[in-house]
């Protein structure tokens, strides 16, 4: 009995016993920390690779060359990850409207300790989006229809080194004031439904301008007819030497004369024409009201643009 009491009071070896009991959770926590650290390092590596791939694709993305941009992005991915690039799931998204390139990477990393808990792998996924600011380099314009009694000249104008340069014009000369349901018909140059591509080149500003002459003839000419059929003859008189009004897409007092995809631009706004032309290679419908009334527009055309990155320095990550 005495020996039993002594045994119960004996604390020798308690530390070893306690340690043995705690060893399993300690090893479990240590294993979790190690496996988490491995997964975190793998995620950082994938994130760096995704960032590089998104930036590489965005640096050449034009809005219409997704295949070429993706090939460049995948080349950078391969350069950063080597053979691992072939073992992970990779998707790219190219958004021409918002000028974005997004890279999504997902893979798995093997565990060292968590497999004891039947967790053999840890999923790792990352996303990176790069912004590729674009601007149109060419504009393809097809005039669909034109009406009205007034002469109209639509010009595409760029500013280079502070100088305004007209890179293309479309004109409408009135022919019959009784045609077109009473709205008037005329002659358009280039002809209707003839796509015409204008090279914009390098520029700091881009806008459209509509110049209007009320008698239906261009400047330097006058309408010599007393009937509905317009007859333009040369004239040196000063009242025929200038346009009666001018509308510009960068003029907040006249920008509301332009309708884009059926929506009238807000009076007082100055939307960049780069955005109105868009870079998604999809034709967009424009309509201009020359000033006679808002019920029906007079100059209808659709336009699509080829674009390029403004410059590599403006390409940047957004997340």
| Structure confidence at residue 210 (pLDDT) | 95
> CA–CA separation, 208 vs 153, rounded Å?
10
Domain presence at residue 229: yes
pLDDT digits (tens, 9 = 90+) for 227-238: 999 999 999 999
pLDDT, average across residues 286-296: 84
Domain termination site, one of 82, 111, 132: 132
Domain presence at residue 319: no
pLDDT digits (tens, 9 = 90+) for 26-56: 555 555 666 566 668 888 888 999 999 999 9
Question: What's the structural domain count of the chain?
Answer: 2
Both 184 and 296 in a single domain?
yes
Average pLDDT score, the chain: 83
pLDDT higher than 90, residue 313: no
Q: Categorize the per-residue pLDDT at 304 as very low, low, confident or very high, splitting at 50, 70 and 90.
A: confident
Domain presence at residue 267: yes
| Structure confidence at residue 254 (pLDDT) | 92
Helix axis angle, 66-81 to 14-58, nearest 10° = 150
pLDDT digits (tens, 9 = 90+) for 61-93: 877 788 999 999 999 999 999 988 888 899 999
Both 211 and 97 in a single domain?
no
Identify the weakest region by mean pLDDT among 28-37, 196-205, 229-238, 296-305. Answer: 28-37
| Structure confidence at residue 1 (pLDDT) | 59
Domain presence at residue 188: yes
> CA–CA separation, 172 vs 176, rounded Å?
12
Both 8 and 116 in a single domain?
yes
Q: What is the SS3 assignment for the chain? A: CHHHHHHHHCCCCHHHHHHHHHHHHHHHHHHHHHHHHHHHHHHHHHHHHHHHHHHHHHCCCCCCCHHHHHHHHHHHHHHHHHHHHHCCEEEEEEECCCCEEEEEEEEEEECCCHHHHCCCEEEEEEEEEEECCEEEEEEEEEEEEECCCCEEEEEEEEEECCEEEEEEEEEEEEEECCCCCCCCEEEEECCCCCCEEEECCCCCEEEEEEEEECCCCCCCEEECCCCCECCEEECCCHHHCCCCEEEECCCCCCHHHEEECCEECCCCCCCCHHHHHCCCCCCEEEEECCCCCCCCCCEEEEEEEEEEECCHHHCEECC
Domain presence at residue 44: yes
pLDDT higher than 90, residue 314: no
For the purposes of burial, counting CB atoms within 10 Å of the CB of 202, is it exposed (0-12), middle (13-18) or buried (19 or more)?
A: exposed
pLDDT digits (tens, 9 = 90+) for 209-258: 999 999 999 999 999 999 999 999 999 999 999 999 999 999 999 999 99
pLDDT digits (tens, 9 = 90+) for 256-278: 999 998 899 999 998 877 777 77
Domain termination site, one of 132, 149, 177: 132
Task: Return left, alpha or beta for 47; rule: phi > 0 is left, psi -120 to 50 is alpha, else beta.
Answer: alpha
Q: Is 173 within 8 Å of 231 (Cβ atoms)? A: no
Domain presence at residue 306: yes
Identify the weakest region by mean pLDDT among 4-18, 85-99, 199-213. Answer: 4-18
Looking at per-residue confidence, does 280 or 238 come out higher? 238
Domain presence at residue 317: no
pLDDT digits (tens, 9 = 90+) for 123-160: 788 999 998 777 788 889 999 999 999 999 999 999 98
Both 159 and 209 in a single domain?
yes
Both 24 and 110 in a single domain?
yes
According to DSSP, the β-strands at 284-288 and 258-260 are antiparallel
Backbone angles phi, psi at 250, to 5 degrees: -100, 10
Share of the chain above pLDDT 90, in %: 49
pLDDT digits (tens, 9 = 90+) for 156-189: 999 988 999 999 999 999 999 888 777 889 999 9
Both 197 and 302 in a single domain?
yes
Both 139 and 277 in a single domain?
yes
Q: Categorize the per-residue pLDDT at 310 as very low, low, confident or very high, splitting at 50, 70 and 90.
A: low
pLDDT higher than 90, residue 316: no
Domain termination site, one of 132, 166, 187: 132
Both 116 and 213 in a single domain?
no
| Residue 120 belongs to domain spanning | 2-132
Both 149 and 289 in a single domain?
yes
According to DSSP, the β-strands at 284-288 and 316-317 are unpaired
Both 123 and 150 in a single domain?
no
Which CATH number do you get for residue 191? 2.60.40
Q: If you compute the radius of gyration of the chain from its CA atoms, what whole number of angstroms results?
A: 34
Both 107 and 156 in a single domain?
no
Tokens for 273? 């024409």
């Amino acid at each position: 009995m005495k020996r039993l009491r002594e045994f119960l009071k004996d604390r020798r070896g308690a530390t070893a016993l306690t340690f043995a009991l705690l060893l399993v959770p300690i090893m479990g926590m240590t294993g979790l920390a190690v496996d988490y650290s491995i997964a975190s390092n793998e995620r950082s590596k994938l994130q760096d690779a995704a960032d590089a791939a998104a930036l590489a694709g965005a640096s050449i993305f034009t809005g219409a060359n997704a295949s070429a941009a993706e090939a460049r992005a995948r080349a950078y991915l391969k350069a950063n990850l080597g053979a691992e690039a072939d073992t992970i799931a990779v998707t790219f998204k190219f958004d021409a409207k918002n000028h974005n390139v997004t890279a999504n990477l997902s893979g798995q990393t093997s565990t060292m300790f968590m497999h004891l808990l039947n967790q053999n792998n840890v999923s790792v996924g990352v996303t990176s989006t790069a912004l590729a600011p674009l601007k149109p380099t060419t504009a393809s314009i097809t005039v669909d229809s034109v009406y009205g009694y007034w002469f109209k000249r639509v010009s595409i104008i760029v500013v280079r080194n502070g100088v305004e340069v007209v890179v293309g014009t479309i004109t409408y000369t009135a022919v019959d004031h009784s045609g077109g349901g009473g709205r008037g018909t005329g002659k358009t140059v280039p002809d209707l439904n003839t796509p015409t591509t204008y090279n914009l080149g390098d520029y700091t500003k881009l806008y459209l301008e509509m110049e209007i002459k009320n008698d239906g003839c261009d400047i330097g000419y006058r309408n010599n007819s007393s009937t509905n059929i317009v007859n333009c003859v040369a004239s040196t008189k000063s009242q025929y030497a200038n346009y009666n009004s001018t509308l510009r897409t960068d003029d907040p007092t006249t920008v509301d004369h332009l309708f884009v995809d059926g929506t009238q631009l807000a009076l007082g706004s100055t939307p960049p024409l780069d955005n109105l032309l868009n870079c998604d290679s999809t034709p967009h419908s424009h309509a201009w009201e020359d000033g006679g009334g808002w019920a029906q527009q007079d100059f209808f055309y659709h336009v699509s643009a080829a674009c390029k990155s403004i410059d590599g320095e403006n390409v940047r990550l957004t997340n």
